[in-house]
Structure formats: C-alpha cells, structure tokens
Structure 1
C-alpha cells in the first residue's frame, strides 16, 4: 500500500516528526536539517521558537538558505537553554568583556616593555656604555663636524629615570 509520504519502515522519522509524534512525509521540511540521530537539536529549537514558527521560517526561505537559518536557530536555541534571559547576547557580552580585559593587559605589558627599555637605556648611559663613553666618544653630530668643533645642539638624549621612568610607568 503506497502512501503520499514515506513508506513505513523505509527510513526512521526525522527528530522533529518524532518529537511532534507525527508521520514524517517524504517532503518533510525538517528532515534534511534535524536527523533522527540528533533529537536534542530539534528539541531545543522547538522549545525556544516553536515547531510552527520554524516550519514557517523554513518554508519562506529559498532551499539554499535553509541550512544557514537552521544553524542560526540551533545556535540561538542552545544559547537560550543555557541563558534564558540573554541568550546569544549574553555570550557576546561576556566575550566582549574578555576582549576588553585582555586588551588592558596587553597595553600594560607593552607599557612595561617600554619602561624596561627606558631603564635599560638609562642604565647603559650611566655605566659608561652610552654616547659619552670612551668606546663611543662624542655624538654623531660632533664626529661629522670634526674633533675641534663643538655642536650647538647636542641631540643625544639623556633620560633621568628617577624623575621620568618611575613616576610615569608605575602602576
């Protein structure tokens, strides 16, 4: 005896038809997206959106967009099951807070690196490794002008780390 739907025993009903306790027709809109071996997938979507609304949404969409729509509904439904009030927005907010905290940590780490480099530069110039040391006599501008000439503006920077470094970079 042939029916307009699936033959009895040919294939198990999809998860949606099984949950809704109805016959799964051959042209069932749910079957491609809610296989029988994933019953929780449809159960969550049904709980949040309702089978009738999901059916209407899928019927109104072109076939090539239905898979993406089902993926979005499943994601939102799972988020709503975990957090009934905020759903996906709660997850997005939580991730945004994590991003903000990590960006703050990164900025602090970068500032610490700059602070350490300034201290290292200041330490080298105070211990005889800087521009005025015997190994590096004079600034580049004085070398260009010859040993007798003294530059009007000496461009070598000397950092007073006691007043600059400690107050600016301390947290």
Structure 2
C-alpha cells in the first residue's frame, strides 16, 4: 500500500486491490501514475513483476529506474530505444576526439614554428587556426 493507504500506481492502473506485500508499491507510488503506465506499456506488468522478484530487494530500485529510462527511450524511438541514444553519444564522442586531435596537432605545429623561428623584435606571431 502506498502512503495514506492509497493503492500504488500499478494497482490503480490495473484496477486491483493493492496488498501490503505488493511488489510494485515501493517503486511506483500513487502520486506518479505515468511512471508505471509507460513501463507497463513497454514491458507489461507481468514481466516487470517477474524481473523484480528475481532481484534482491536492494537492487530493485535501480532496476526500476533503468526500466523507466528504457521505456521512455523506447517511446521516443520505437526502433532503437536507448541504443539509439547510446550510438548518437558514441558518434559525438568520436567526432570530438577527432577535433581534439586536430587542435592538438595545430598547437604542436605552432609551438614548433615558434621554436624554430624566434621573433627578433619580441613580436608575437599569430597563425590562423584551420578547422
């Protein structure tokens, strides 16, 4: 049972009586019905229940957080789900690593040029950066 003896979001959505030992009530409170609704739509209440029962109690909260994240990702991108977001971020990291390598190479070239040709009058040499 949720706070104030109101049924949890799961029992409310599934229109059943919320027992004291309801596996959903600690993770799907009645004041956040959307959280269970989206997870139920993607995974199904029976599958969620089985997953939670197979886990030790101390891991269930993290599992529910993961299921909510994955369900939201699946709703945004029905084909790839969270894998699409991961791929996008991995591509972004690769692009940024290439940009960083180019910038470091340019810095090295500028430093090398300034060492090879020191300015005689104390003037600073600025070279344009190519991006």
Common topology (TM > 0.5)? yes
Q: In 1, distance between residues paired with 2:118 and 2:75?
A: 60
Shift of 1:58: 1.3
Aligned to 2:126: none
TM-score (norm 2): 0.84
Identify which of 95, 101, 122 aligns with 1:101. Answer: 95
Match in the other structure for 1:28: 22
Q: Which has the larger radius of gyration?
A: 1
Q: Name the count of aligned residue pairs.
A: 122
CA RMSD of aligned residues (A): 2.0
How far the C-alpha of 1:128 sits from its partner, in A, is 8.6
Q: In the TM superposition, what whole-angstrom CA distance separates every residue of 1:35-83 from its partner, at most 9, and x where no partner exists?
A: 1111111111101100111111112222222112112111111111111
Instruction: Structure 1: state its 5+ residue gaps.
Output: 1-5, 130-169
Structure scoring higher RCO (CA < 8 A, sep ≥ 6) equals: 2
* Ranges of 4+ aligned residues in structure 1 off by more than 2 Å: none
- Partner residue of 1:15 out of 5, 9, 12: 9
In structure 1, distance between residues paired with 2:55 and 2:111: 59
* Structure with higher helix content: 2
